[in-house]
């Protein structure tokens, strides 16, 4: 029996490039320089993701949430922002978003080593730390957007925009609905991107929601929604760029559902073979071989004489060199004390946190654990 590779989640999604790189909407193609810039940014994140898994296997990184195959959604969306003024609220799988926004690579390595320097974000760069609790970042994003809205009105300028990501599983969490309801009611300058990769850890999307689309949830909060092919970087960038412009001119938030697929394990410690059915394995393999976002854009660029194998090798070598420098910088970071893990949680630490820090210091001074 031949298993179907058609993915009904893609029905009706916005697309600029076909999966083989053929333009579907030639009038919406960006200028060559912009397309090249976006490809380079996307390829850089994929190389990092691939090397991160190797580092984890070598014991040089902790548990790592892979995003390879989903980088078009992450990079295409973030490149529509105006850093460091606009805000980015990533998920824990958002290493690609942070890199595209400008987080130094050595900081990202430290993050996945559990080093506090990785989580201490530059206050002048509007990038929130990675959120492991699911969908917690959405109420925060809505609140930041309200503050930006009011600050901009006071100063007589356009507001900075907040771009927040959430996974398909996160749309079933209470904080998703709290954040969107708040954002819709106050018409804040925010854009919410659902990375619908088909899986909430081991639960397929069709088992966690009876909704026809996750984008339809925007209607309940008065928020317009768009569905886009999440492996088409140009399409993602186009719809997010429009949503950001709309938010900046006072049009309120937008919900974007980007359809992609998690072709890799949930994390470096996951084994999808334990829950994938045979049809799931076929589907993942199809997305891996025929819907890769890098191959799609590279096919378009190569077909128009803008990209060659030599340029590809040169780019990968540049990213490898950057990664080596970043590793050396991360390796040189000072060691940490256990109580430092409880810092940078609140601007003013709570009494409970202070008490826990004191306990850890006392244990350390006594020579006990930790």
- Residues acting as catalytic residues: 262, 266, 275
- The answer to whether the CB of 10 falls within 8 A of the CB of 215 is no
- Closest by CA to 243, choosing from 176, 185, 161, 181, is 161
* Alpha carbon 128 to chain centroid, angstroms: 12
The DSSP letter of residue 305 is T
Name, in order, each residue with C-beta under 8 angstroms of 220's C-beta and a sequence gap of 6 or more: none
Q: Helix, strand or coil for residue 366?
A: coil
The three-state secondary structure class of 177 is: helix
DSSP secondary structure of 48-113: HHHHHHHHHHTTSS-S----TT-HHHHHHHHTTS-TTTSEEE-BTT-HHHHHHHT--HHHHHHHTT
Beta-carbon contacts of residue 341 (< 8 Å; ≥ 6 apart): 114, 116
The dihedral sign for the CA sequence 330, 331, 333, 338: positive
């Amino acid at each position: 029996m031949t298993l179907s590779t058609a993915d009904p989640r893609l029905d009706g999604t916005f697309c600029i490039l076909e999966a083989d790189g053929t333009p579907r909407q030639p009038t919406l193609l960006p200028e060559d320089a912009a397309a090249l810039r976006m490809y380079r940014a996307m390829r850089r994140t994929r190389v990092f993701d691939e090397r991160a898994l190797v580092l984890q296997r070598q014991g040089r990184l902790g548990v790592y949430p892979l995003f390879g195959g989903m980088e078009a959604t992450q990079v295409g969306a973030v490149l529509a922002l105006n850093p460091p003024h606009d805000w980015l609220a990533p998920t824990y799988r958002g290493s690609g978003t942070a890199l595209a926004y400008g987080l130094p690579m050595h900081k990202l390595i430290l993050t996945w080593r559990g080093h506090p320097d990785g989580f201490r974000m530059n206050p002048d760069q509007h990038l929130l730390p990675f959120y492991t609790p699911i969908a917690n970042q959405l109420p925060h994003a809505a609140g930041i957007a309200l503050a930006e809205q009011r600050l901009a009105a006071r100063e007589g300028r356009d507001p900075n925009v907040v771009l927040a990501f959430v996974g398909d599983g996160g749309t079933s969490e209470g904080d998703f609905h709290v954040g969107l309801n708040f954002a819709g009611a106050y018409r804040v300058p925010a854009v919410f991107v659902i990375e619908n990769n088909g899986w909430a850890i081991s639960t397929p999307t069709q088992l966690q929601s009876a909704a026809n689309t996750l984008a339809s949830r925007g209607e309940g909060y008065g928020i317009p929604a768009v569905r886009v092919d999440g492996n088409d970087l140009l399409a993602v960038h186009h719809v997010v760029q429009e949503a950001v412009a709309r938010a900046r001119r006072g049009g309120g938030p937008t919900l974007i559902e980007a359809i992609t697929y998690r072709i890799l394990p949930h994390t470096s410690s996951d084994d999808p073979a334990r829950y994938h059915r045979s049809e799931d394995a076929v589907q993942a393999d199809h997305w891996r071989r025929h819907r890769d976002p890098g191959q799609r854009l590279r096919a378009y660029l190569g077909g128009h004489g803008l990209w060659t194998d030599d340029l590809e090798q040169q780019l990968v070598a540049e990213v490898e060199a950057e990664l080596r420098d970043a590793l050396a910088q991360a390796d040189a970071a000072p060691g940490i004390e256990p109580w430092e893990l409880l810092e940078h949680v609140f601007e003013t630490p709570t009494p409970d946190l202070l008490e826990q820090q004191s306990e850890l210091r006392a244990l350390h001074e006594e020579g006990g654990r930790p």
